[in-house]
Amino acid sequence: MRLAQSVLLPLLPSLSTASQHRQRCTAQDACWPSHKAWSSFNASVNGQLIASRPSAHVCHNPSYDAALCTTARTNWASSDWRTAQPGAYSAILWELGSAQCFINTSSSAPCEQGLVAEYTLNASSVELVQKGIRWAVQNDLYLTVKNTGHDHLGRSSGKGAFAIWTHNMKGRKWHDAFVPHGARVGAAGIPAVTLQAGEQWLDIYRDADQQGRIVVGGSARTVGSAGGWFTGGGHSPWSHFYGLGVDNVLEVNIVTATGETKVLNEYTDADHFWAIRGGGGNAWGILTSITYKTYPLPTHIKTVAAGYNTTSPAARREVLRRLLKAIPRITDLGYTGYATFGDPIGMIFIQPNGTNTTAAETAAILSEAGNVTGVEPLAGAFDFPKWIDYCNAFLQDPNIATNVIDTSRLLTADVLSNKTESLLSLMFEEFPDFHAGFNFIGKVDSRNRDNTAVHSIWKSSRGVFSLGTDWADEAPESEKHAKRLRAVEISKRLAQIVSRDGGTYVNEANPYEPFWQQAFWGDKYPRLAKIKKRVDPNDLFVCNRCVGSNVLYEP
């Protein structure tokens, strides 16, 4: 993997400035602060500076520690453990890049720094975030921002960087009647919750259950509520009824590129607030807290699940043809869900307060899809009494400690109905070695779509279709490179199928997406780029394929 810098923005050459062509100081450069300077900075932040290392470094010389190595190996695929390590990421790819520091090699095998920041500031308070930013500005440092490390595009790590880590910034405050700063006197408040940057979704859901409320959040246990999930838009099991995560945000607190605190909402800085809600990555400032609307708990969660064992590729193909064409009808019925298209094929759909009628109709559609020679279908409906019961049963953190990369597009009802054969060709003829499925299925409430920066295609989308690949840590670089190149070819083919006007979900996109400005933001990109130059004129906040950034990972 190579890092390209000084890359012009092809859609907006007039907005590419000299600052985009200057690489900031990294640990590999002579301008990097001395050890004495770092020690002085550590004293100023109460000893919260960490010499961060890859998560397997305790299993390699000269840092080998038998007890710590056993702990690392035991918890290697634990998302709880990985999110608590400053140098660990959910994807090994974005921890190491092309470097080596593997958990399953001998203690004498190489352990290189890879993409892990040289130093990480454990910023458990707003004041520490401010000090970190001012230190980065003062020393012209390449800065990365990490919350839980779940990022699929490598936006929270960087070779030779200084990182600000917000995972340990914890706290939740529930409001009966929240009123944003700057609202008119006497404005009515609404139920809401303010979450500190390090709060993670399963913890929030458990607390919300005790409060008798729900929050429109993610479908993974340890993903953060105030990081990339939010800035990328944030699809949710609740999105059919309440929209994306960004549609439910009332206010955001950030620290800006000058180290100042700033409150963002529709009254204080409408443009910046618009941009951070869907503008992607850490391009807009470091989030310290976020306030979401809350809603009453449903009486139950209607759940419909289906599985299909197939005895031949032809049978599997026919089932998938029927399922693709069925998704518009299922989402019209109000169900959201997820799907894996391997063998067996698996799908699950949920609807808060769903009726027996819609559940029976959805189950019948899924059963009929499996009415194919050579297929063993199983479909049924059942209830969870509470949202937290569903979460405890089904919420997972997939692909932890792997090298998975996804290539995705949002598919409309028209594409699902009329481009079915093209999608099947991708799965069966062109890229049969890639794993297909839907990272999200749903007809999203998009009444407020133009009020946020997420791609307008969400207005008509019915799901995030994805083709993914993976490789073993020790695979030769030639194999890894070949798979990354094939992922780029999938992006090009998907763009042909959905048209160049189509788009994708930023957080589950190809990290090497060739059409990234259009695919991530469409016609909203020019406005985003203009706002970026106002709020971060010196490009302190840069990341892979982020607005205004010259950091572009190449395959």
Can you tell me the distance from the alpha carbon of 222 to that of 245, in angstroms, rounded to the nearest whole number?
A: 16
| pLDDT at position 1 | 44
Closest Cα to residue 94, out of 43, 167, 149?
A: 149
The CATH number of 301-516 is: 3.40.462.20
Domain 2-168: assigned CATH number = 3.30.43.10
What tokens does 380 get?
């049924």
Question: Are 230 and 249 in contact, with CB atoms under 8 Å apart?
Answer: yes
Q: Name every residue whose Cβ is closer than 8 Å to that of residue 431 and which is 6 or more positions away in sequence.
A: 467, 486, 489, 490
One DSSP character per residue, 290-358 reads: EEEE-EEPPS-EEEEEEEEEESSHHHHHHHHHHHHHHHHHHHHTT-EEEEE-SSSEEEEEEEET--HHH
Residues in the chain, overall count: 555
DSSP string, 477-493: HHHHHHHHHHHHHHHHH
Cβ count within 10 A of residue 54: 27
pLDDT of residue 22: 63
Segments making up each domain of the chain, as ranges: 2-168, 172-296, 301-516
**Quick check: helix, strand or coil at residue 530?**
helix
- Residue spans of the chain under pLDDT 50: 1-21
pTM: 0.94
Rounded-to-integer distance, Cα 222 and Cα 201, Å: 6
Tell me the three state secondary structure of residue 383.
strand
Tens-place pLDDT, residues 36-66: 999 999 999 999 999 999 999 999 999 999 9
Q: In terms of Cα–Cα distance, which of 402, 512, 507 is closest to 464?
A: 507
Distances (CA, A) of 207 to 150, 197, 202, 363, 387: 22, 16, 9, 32, 12
For residue 103, give the nearest of 76, 127, 63, 64 by alpha carbon. Answer: 76
- Residues forming beta bridges with residue 195, ordered by sequence position: 172, 290
- The matching CATH number, chosen from 3.40.640.10, 3.30.465.10, 1.10.30.50, 3.90.1170.50, for 172-296 is 3.30.465.10
